Amino acid sequence: MDFFSPVIAGFGVVFQPENLFYCLLGVTLGMLVGVLPGLGPAATIAILLPVTYNIEPTAAIIMLAGIFYGAQYGGTITSVLLRLPGEASSVVTAIDGHEMARQGRAGSALGIAAIGSFIGGTVAVLALTFVAPLVAGFALDFGPAEYTALALLGILLVSTLGTGSTTKSILMATIGLLLAAIGQDPLAGTSRLTFGSDQLLDGIDFVIVAMGLFGVGEILYSLESLRGKSAPAPSVGSVYPSRKDISESKGAITRGSLVGFVLGILPGGGATMSSMVAYAVEKKAAKHPEKFGKGAIQGVAGPETANNAAATSSFIPLLTLGIPANATMAIMFGALLLQGITPGPLLVQEKPDLFWGVVNSMYIGNVLLLAMSLPLIGIFVRILRIRAAILAPLTILITMIGVYTVRMNVFDMYLMVGLGIVGYLMKKVGFEPGPLVLAFVLGSLLESSFRRSMRLFDGQLTGFFGQPIAATLLVAILLIITVPPLTRLLRTSRRKAEA
């Protein structure tokens, strides 16, 4: 029973009143940001980073995790009712979900989404409970060479699998790595790229980068449509799905759980991609694929289950390898670092309270969310009427004062606003901040493990191929870089040959 005793002890941690409170606070905030278009979970978590600094670590991470998976529930509401996805991961839900709403079945769509999300989330936590310690155990032997390859693979996968153009994402990643290099050299202590400023000597704090690019950037971007009227709150009807709805969605929920869990673990996967894949899977598996786009309940159940399962399983690489799988996890990584905790394979053993407390809080969080999305949905629908013009100044002030409180330093405010302007401009020209933030987080790990490997291998790059795990990962990297352009070349040449 060695395995289960820390797991059970973790429930003891969750049921402490303070942690239950932060779990409830987190999932409620998550529902809210999910409902309110404009501010995503990554931005919200980024903005709240300084606030969490003053909370006990386990409670802080429980709350931030709640925001993340809670947003997956909330994002559905606007997708279905208004065809305005609150989150990128709910974009595909809007297709059939909104169609159902137009046919007067909004309640069924929301109800099945909530139930699917609950099942997907819970299945993923269960699987996480068993998979995470295995991965962590496997990763205990990782040395600098493995970490170099792993970090590089993580950055590349996020860049190539992301939603935007690959070249743009890779450029963003290099900018993130460059920003991470600012400050003292980790080994020699020489100051690098600081322009002689003492303020930059310690490097740029991750909190500032995340809050600037995600928080301030998104708020500035939302200002352009500030004067839009608030949406009228539509009627929902009964949110309890009928027996027919449930029997039609059973398969979709099962497949969605699986797709979401697997894709969530992969770097660059995460909630958005898994919801899209789940939609495609449902369309393939359907007996009547022609119903998709016209209000097929499977088109809601599959993606909504998957995005929740993925939101949960994307914690695995973060908590076991110390490698965040997507931008939100990168910010979560920052939150852990801020608390003085380095996520990695040792976390399960060294901080079982934190690890199992956070994991088990997800069961409770999912139950709370199910309760909020079924009986209390009316309240959240009414929140849709809060105008952006009121929300924007409040969030920006929390951000501004928040960043100040981290180091009690006004310079950080300037830096964050500067990065916020960059983030706004990036959005305008079609660059994603995700790869930048992720690369920034992994930058110092990548550099220090690369340099340590180089010392081990006496400056020979080929040394990496002497380590089986590192070599496998590097081969994977090579394939990621070379295969897509090659297939594109092949396809165009074949098309030319056919023409």
Partner 1 sequence: MTSVTPEEEEGLLVPPSPEYARRQNIVAAIIPLAVGVIAGIMSWNLGIGTLSNPGPGLWPLAVSVAMVVTAAVLALRSGPTGEEETFTREALIVVVAAVSLLGYAFLFERIGFEIPTVALLVLWLKGLGREGWRMTAIISLGSTAALYLLFVTGLGVSLPHILPF
Q: Which is nearer to partner 1, 75 or 420 (CB)?
A: 420
CB 359 within 8 A of CB 125: yes
Q: Which is nearer to partner 1, 223 or 346 (CB)?
A: 223
Sign of CA dihedral 141, 144, 146, 151: positive
Q: Which is nearer to partner 1, 140 or 394 (CB)?
A: 394
Query: Rounded to the nearest whole angstrom, what is the least distance from the CB of residue 236 to partner 1 in the complex?
Result: 27
DSSP-based helix, strand, coil % in the chain, nearest 5:
75, 0, 20
Q: Which is nearer to partner 1, 192 or 294 (CB)?
A: 192
Name the packing angle between helices 243-265 and 298-313 (round to 10°).
30
Query: Rounded to the nearest whole angstrom, what is the least distance from the CB of residue 437 to partner 1 in the complex?
Result: 16
Neighbours of 5 (CB within 10 A): 11
Query: Rounded to the nearest whole angstrom, what is the least distance from the CB of residue 363 to partner 1 in the complex?
Result: 28
- Which of 110, 101, 89, 116 is CA-nearest to residue 251? 116
- Which of 38, 105, 51, 70 is CA-nearest to residue 361? 70
Q: Please state, in angstroms and as integers, the Cα–Cα distance from residue 449 to each residue in 23, 146, 189, 280, following that order.
A: 35, 9, 16, 39
Measure the CA–CA gap between 454 and 446, rounded to whole angstroms.
Answer: 12
Tokens of 407: 């180091």
In b/e form, how buried is each residue of 269-302, taking b as 16+ CB within 10 angstroms? Answer: bbbbbbbbbbbebbbeebeeeebbeebbbbbbbb
Q: Torsion over CA of 427, 429, 431 and 433, rounded to 10 degrees?
A: -30
Q: Which is nearer to partner 1, 66 or 217 (CB)?
A: 217
Query: Rounded to the nearest whole angstrom, what is the least distance from the CB of residue 401 to partner 1 in the complex?
Result: 6
Query: Rounded to the nearest whole angstrom, what is the least distance from the CB of residue 50 to partner 1 in the complex?
Result: 9
Measure the CA–CA gap between 482 and 476, rounded to whole angstroms.
Answer: 10
Q: Which is nearer to partner 1, 169 or 373 (CB)?
A: 169
Q: Number of helices (H) and strands (E), helices first, in the chain?
A: 22, 2
Beta bridge partners of 494: none
Query: Rounded to the nearest whole angstrom, what is the least distance from the CB of residue 308 to partner 1 in the complex?
Result: 28
Q: Please state, in angstroms and as integers, the Cα–Cα distance from residue 204 to each residue in 122, 213, 478, following that order.
A: 37, 13, 31
Measure the CA–CA gap between 197 and 102, rounded to whole angstroms.
Answer: 58
Query: Rounded to the nearest whole angstrom, what is the least distance from the CB of residue 264 to partner 1 in the complex?
Result: 25
Query: Rounded to the nearest whole angstrom, what is the least distance from the CB of residue 480 to partner 1 in the complex?
Result: 15
Measure the CA–CA gap between 333 and 341, rounded to whole angstroms.
Answer: 9
CB 322 within 8 A of CB 342: yes
Query: Rounded to the nearest whole angstrom, what is the least distance from the CB of residue 35 to partner 1 in the complex?
Result: 20
CA triplet 471, 330, 31: central angle to 5 degrees? Answer: 135
Q: Which is nearer to partner 1, 261 or 431 (CB)?
A: 431
Q: Which is nearer to partner 1, 127 or 150 (CB)?
A: 150
Q: Which is nearer to partner 1, 227 or 495 (CB)?
A: 227
Q: Which is nearer to partner 1, 134 or 389 (CB)?
A: 389
Q: Which is nearer to partner 1, 294 or 407 (CB)?
A: 407
Query: Rounded to the nearest whole angstrom, what is the least distance from the CB of residue 136 to partner 1 in the complex?
Result: 28
Query: Rounded to the nearest whole angstrom, what is the least distance from the CB of residue 409 to partner 1 in the complex?
Result: 9
Query: Rounded to the nearest whole angstrom, what is the least distance from the CB of residue 185 to partner 1 in the complex?
Result: 4
Measure the CA–CA gap between 201 and 184, rounded to whole angstroms.
Answer: 6
Q: Which is nearer to partner 1, 73 or 431 (CB)?
A: 431
Write the DSSP assignment of 56-101 as a string of letters: -HHHHHHHHHHHHHHHHHHHHHHHHHHS--SSGGGHHHHHHHHHHH
Q: Which residues contact 490 (CB under 8 A, 6 or more apart)?
A: none
Could you list the residues that contact partner 1 (CB under 8 A)? 51, 54, 164-165, 167-168, 170-171, 174-175, 177-178, 181, 185, 188, 190, 192-193, 216, 220-221, 223-228, 387-390, 392-394, 396-398, 400-402, 404-405, 408, 410, 413-414, 417, 420-421, 424-425, 427-431, 447, 450-451, 454-455, 457-461
